[in-house]
Structure 1
Amino acid sequence: MSHTRIAALLEARLGEWADAHDIPVAWENTPMDPPDGLYLQVYAMPATTTAIDLAEKLHVLPGVWQINVVAPAGDGTGPVRDLADQISALFPLGMMLAEGGLTCYISTPPTVYRGITTDARYTIPVSMNYRADITTH
């Protein structure tokens, strides 16, 4: 339930930015014909929710937010690396996203990983951890 809300917060921030920069996004479980140029793939990957207090009312919802920057293979690395750096800057360490009593924090600096090449695509993953603390009643 709250992992769904966390994903919505993260996706909203990226979606607004991508729309403003005219960058297509392949949203999770949504059909998309990959464009000929650069585009993004996104994944919110929740980890196990834990309760960290004796009353078991404070729940910690951690996870990994990964954005893959995808480009056609054979077009070099400059534009895809530049876009990966922009994505990294969009989700800085300590950033808070809040909505309706839920606050999600970016809890690790975004990491831009080495590119992965296939026959058709070159992909640079950008990953960061997130965390939300929720008090239940």
Structure 2
Amino acid sequence: MSQAKARQAIEIKLMAWATARPIRVANFQQAFEAQPGETYLQAFQLPAGTTCRYLGGEAYEYTGVYQVSIVCPAGEPLATAESLVDELSSLFRVDSSLSRNGFEGLITGPVDQGPTITESATYTVPTSFTYRGVAEQPPAGA
């Protein structure tokens, strides 16, 4: 399934960037507990419909939205999250490529910042971007 390959291509890029900063990324695949006063990221893939524009069904087109939420401790200046939004915008520029094991895609929309969500101990600044890619399908019976 190439939605998985799209997610992997995005996550490899995100994890390499986060490791170099360093900032941790929480995802559902691993246990995660935030440290006191820690700013961290939460990442989610929101797949959209799969289409096939090719006669014979040789390749499928996969699209979706990838969300990266920046979670900061309450009291942290909003400028901290805003600078991370700028860095994510540079990392996931429109028309930058995504490639993973037969999936070839692109970032198709700029990183958008959503409304700040406040809670008692943290605040979250969601960001998201769109992607699209094509993957060849194996022949029937293969």
Taking structure 1 as the reference length, the TM-score comes to 0.92
DSSP-derived class of the 2:56 partner: coil
Gaps of 5+ in 1: none
Secondary structure of the residue aligned to 2:49 is coil
Q: Which TM-score applies when normalising by structure 2?
A: 0.89
Identity of aligned residues (%): 31
Matches of 1:29 and 1:73, distance apart in 2: 26
Partner AA of 1:67 in structure 2? V
TM alignment of 1:1-137, pairs within 5 A: 1-35=1-35, 36-136=37-137, 137=139
Q: How far apart are 1:30 and its partner, in Å?
A: 1.8
How far the C-alpha of 1:29 sits from its partner, in A, is: 3.2
- The letter for the 1-side match of 2:10 is L
Deviates more, 1:94-103 or 1:64-73: 94-103
- Equivalent residue of 1:63, what SS? strand
| Alignment gaps of 5+ in structure 2 | none
Question: May I ask how many residue pairs the two structures share in their alignment?
Answer: 137
For each residue in 1:54-94, what CA deviation from the matched residue of structure 2 results, as whole angstroms up to 9, or x when unmatched?
Answer: 43333110011110011012323111111121112110000
For 1:83-130, what per-residue CA distance to the aligned partner results, in whole angstroms no more than 9, with x for missing partners? 121112110000102233321210111112221111121111110011
How far residue 2 of structure 1 moved from its aligned partner, in angstroms, is 1.1
Structure 1 vs Structure 2 CA RMSD: 1.4
Checking the alignment, whether the CA contact within 8 Å between 2:63 and 2:131 is kept in structure 1 is yes
SS of 2:81's equivalent in the other structure is helix
- Greater CA drift, 49-58 or 39-48: 49-58
Between stretches 28-37 and 106-115, larger displacement belongs to 28-37
For residues 58 and 24 of structure 1, the distance between their equivalents in structure 2, rounded to whole angstroms, comes to: 35
SS at match of 1:93: coil
Moved over 4 A (4+): none
